[in-house]
Structure 1
Amino acid sequence: MIKRFIIAILALALVGGGIVGFNLFKAKMIAQYFATMKPAPSPVSVTEVVPVRWTPGIEAIGTATAAQGTDIATEASGVVREIRFKSNDVVAKGQVLVQIDDRQERADLAAAQAALDLAEVTLKRARELAQRGVSATTTLDSAEASATEARSNVAKIEAVLTTKQLTAPFDGTIGIPQIEVGQYVTTGTTYATLQDRGHMRADFTLTEQQANQVGPGMPVTVTTEVGDLSLSGTVTGIEPKIDPNSRLVTLRADMPNDGDKLTPGQFVHVRVDLPAEEGVIALPQTVVSSSLYGDSVFVVREETPEGADAAQLIAKQVFVKLGRRSGEKIEITEGLKAGDKVVNAGQNKLTSGAPVVIDNSLSPDAAPAADAAGN
């Protein structure tokens, strides 16, 4: 009985040891397999570093205004008799827009004109009598003074009449009427806004350092906030005084408003183009990765790893020094040279030294073309 029990224990130990030994052997072989397994190359797209013509710029925000624009106000008080425009009418310079009641002034003008006619007749008769020597000199002087006064009265009333008839000071688009027929208005009452939208301005501000780089005549590009409109113009004015509160300098750019798409008062982005520079290394900002250790890019290089028979493409992490930004581009001042192949897509899954294979169909620049081909 004891002999059988010992045999069973030995058999059980043998089976258990075999199982444990097999599992240890299996784990060792799996670890050895993964340790010696070469990872498959990661597909990436690259951009070759080529020195380019760099046009640096200064970005700012501003407000669009019309080259000619104002709120038109009444020059005289009275009752509005006629409004000769509608909202958004295109009016010409000198066109009558509003007529204020001028019946009293016209009656005064008729009386003044009659007085002038009488004064002119009296002056003519006095001159004839003076030439015959039958009239005193004082009579002629009095007649001339009366005629001059009568002319002045007529001119004064005619001037008052012009203030009752309101005209457009320049060509432009008129806005919504702010007065109604029959309304009594006082001097200075605004009755509409008039804007010449054919030519626009953009007022914007820069810091003292930025303003020192800008001069009159420099090209500017003005875009709207949604980016659906872009206009080209030039810097036409720089405020000679720095705002003591904000320490900013106000500048103005003028540009044609093709199609009247830009509206006065609209928020705009302004970019001032600085003189171009040659031989600058600039890459898309998306190729640069930033961390606590600095800014870096992945560069694809051909190397022969230790123990390998042939060369292969390897991704190397290279730390770079960044410079100026312009739109989607960023200047690389140190770390890269012409001819380097920088990864522009697929770098998020790379580590330094990882094998790669170049597939430029992954490039962001190739995506629209691929979509177009698919459509």
Structure 2
Amino acid sequence: MNIRRWGLTAVACVAVFAALAFFKVMEIKAAIAFGESFPEHSETVEDAVVEVADFTPTIKVMGTVVAAKRLDLHNELAGEITKVNFVSGGHVEAEQILLQLDVSIEQANLAAAEARADLAQSTFARAKDLYGRNAVSKEQLDQAQSDLATSLAEVKVLQRTIDKKTLRAPFAATAGLHQFEVGQYLPENTFITTLVGDSEVAWVDFKVPQFYRPLEIGAEVVIESIGHSNNQVRIRGTVIGENTIVQTENRSRLYRAAIKADNKRFTANTMVSVHVPIGDAAEVLQVPAAAIQYDALGAYVFLLQSVEDGEGFRAHRHQVKIKTTIGDTTLLATPDATSGIKAGDPIAAAGAFKLHEGILVYTKDRAGRSEVNSDNMADLNAGSDPKEAL
């Protein structure tokens, strides 16, 4: 009897447990079915296309703008100023009188010297005529000729002195600032002003360390203004000359580039940045900087592969090798060196940080997508990081 009762009890327990298990299984299946009724988790990102661009590695060095025509004007002779004929910062014409020193004494002496020269000229003419008729000796003729030459030399000396006290602009230029007034005494070798001549070109002198390859005459560089972070100006320049020796103090080569002199940002003595090419142009891949993600294994991007049975893409991670980053654009190594990525491949750009391997991805059109073409690759080259470019 006891065995029978225990047997019934065991059967009852098994039945209860079976009922509970069946209920739980059905509950789990219902939950799974409920979960499967929702769509697959996905993310929306902006897409981009891998592009090919030509990239020239560059370094950035400091340079100085030099005026093609420049003169620091000094006076050779002392004297009192009688005329100031130029305005501070104003334009002056070639041969325009800038300062006139007192030449009243020299002019009086010049008048006397010219009178003596006229007399000596007449005396020499008479002596020459009389000598032809044997009326005077050869010695008297020579004396008359010597007196004439001396008188003419005195005239030239006084004229030259007057010229030295009349300070003129040797070429059309813009004058610097001054504080000269009429009546002011000017000692010898006083600095008058700096003249920057009118010219269509200006020069930029810059130094390149000797361990970089020498630049060729005619090579292009990019000149960038300094101190204008909101609106920096970049212009192209052409190398027109190289110093004959390497400078010993810094083991650098000194070069000179020519630029257009039509921008106030590049006035004489302005410090500028010069982006100098240090290698040959190479083919690289170009992607938005937002597409690059990083982890312990390095940089990678998500390649978007179309879903065969529906809309959207699958994200697949691919390692990349970064050459340099310029603004919002990242340049990758050549297609051969970057495995799995080639020109024309769609990748995730803005929002790529939300993705993981195999996730379903939808893309949205980017209004005003910024693309870098071959015309502005020079600006990209100009901003490259020297360390990354090497």
- The TM-score, its normalising length taken from structure 2, stands at 0.74
1:167 alignment partner in structure 2: 168
1:90 alignment partner in structure 2: 91
Q: Does residue 1:315 correspond to 2:320, yes or no?
A: no
2:249 alignment partner in structure 1: 245
1:216 alignment partner in structure 2: 217
Q: Does residue 1:350 correspond to 2:375, yes or no?
A: no
Q: Is the Cα–Cα contact under 8 Å of residues 208 and 249 in structure 1 kept in the other structure?
A: yes
SS in 2 for 1:317: strand
Shift in alpha-carbon separation, 1:210–1:178, aligned structure 2, 3 A: farther
Alignment of 1:21-32 (within 5 A): none
Q: Is the Cα–Cα contact under 8 Å of residues 99 and 168 in structure 2 kept in the other structure?
A: yes
% identical aligned pairs:
28
* Greater mean deviation of Cα atoms: 147-156 or 259-268: 259-268
Structure 2 gaps of 5+ residues are: 1-23, 372-390
Alignment of 1:272-287 (within 5 A): 272=276, 277=281, 279-287=283-291
1:64 alignment partner in structure 2: 65
- Deviation by residue 1:16-46 (Cα, 9 ceiling, x = unmatched): xxxxxxxxx9xx97xx879988763221122
> For the residues of structure 1 that align with 2:91 and 2:61, how far apart are their CA atoms?
32
* Greater mean deviation of Cα atoms: 126-135 or 316-325: 316-325
Alignment of 1:253-268 (within 5 A): 253-258=257-262, 260=264, 262-268=266-272
> For the residues of structure 2 that align with 1:146 and 1:195, how far apart are their CA atoms?
45
Task: Return the letter of the residue paired with 1:153.
Answer: E
Shift in alpha-carbon separation, 1:40–1:260, aligned structure 2, 3 A: same
Q: Is the Cα–Cα contact under 8 Å of residues 207 and 252 in structure 2 kept in the other structure?
A: yes
Return the offset for 1:209: 4.0
> For the residues of structure 1 that align with 2:134 and 2:161, how far apart are their CA atoms?
41
Q: 1:201 aligns with which of 196, 200, 203?
A: 203
> For the residues of structure 2 that align with 1:312 and 1:86, how far apart are their CA atoms?
72
> For the residues of structure 2 that align with 1:312 and 1:174, how far apart are their CA atoms?
68
* Aligned CA-pair RMSD: 3.3
SS in 1 for 2:321: strand
Q: Is the Cα–Cα contact under 8 Å of residues 222 and 269 in structure 1 kept in the other structure?
A: yes
> For the residues of structure 1 that align with 2:100 and 2:252, how far apart are their CA atoms?
45
> For the residues of structure 2 that align with 1:291 and 1:146, how far apart are their CA atoms?
98
Q: Is the Cα–Cα contact under 8 Å of residues 174 and 195 in structure 2 kept in the other structure?
A: yes
SS in 2 for 1:51: strand
Return the offset for 1:83: 0.8
Q: Is the Cα–Cα contact under 8 Å of residues 211 and 249 in structure 1 kept in the other structure?
A: no
Shift in alpha-carbon separation, 1:279–1:230, aligned structure 2, 3 A: closer
> For the residues of structure 2 that align with 1:330 and 1:196, how far apart are their CA atoms?
43
SS in 2 for 1:126: helix
2:17 alignment partner in structure 1: none
SS in 1 for 2:142: helix
Alignment of 1:1-375 (within 5 A): 40-54=41-55, 57-196=58-197, 198=199, 199-212=201-214, 214-225=215-226, 226=228, 227-258=231-262, 260=264, 262-272=266-276, 277=281, 279-290=283-294, 292-302=296-306, 313-323=313-323, 328-333=329-334, 334-335=337-338, 336-361=341-366, 365=370
* Greater mean deviation of Cα atoms: 265-274 or 170-179: 265-274
Return the offset for 1:78: 0.9
Aligned residues: 334
Shift in alpha-carbon separation, 1:231–1:339, aligned structure 2, 3 A: closer
Structure 1 gaps of 5+ residues are: 1-24, 367-375
Q: Is the Cα–Cα contact under 8 Å of residues 206 and 249 in structure 1 kept in the other structure?
A: yes
Q: Is the Cα–Cα contact under 8 Å of residues 46 and 365 in structure 2 kept in the other structure?
A: yes
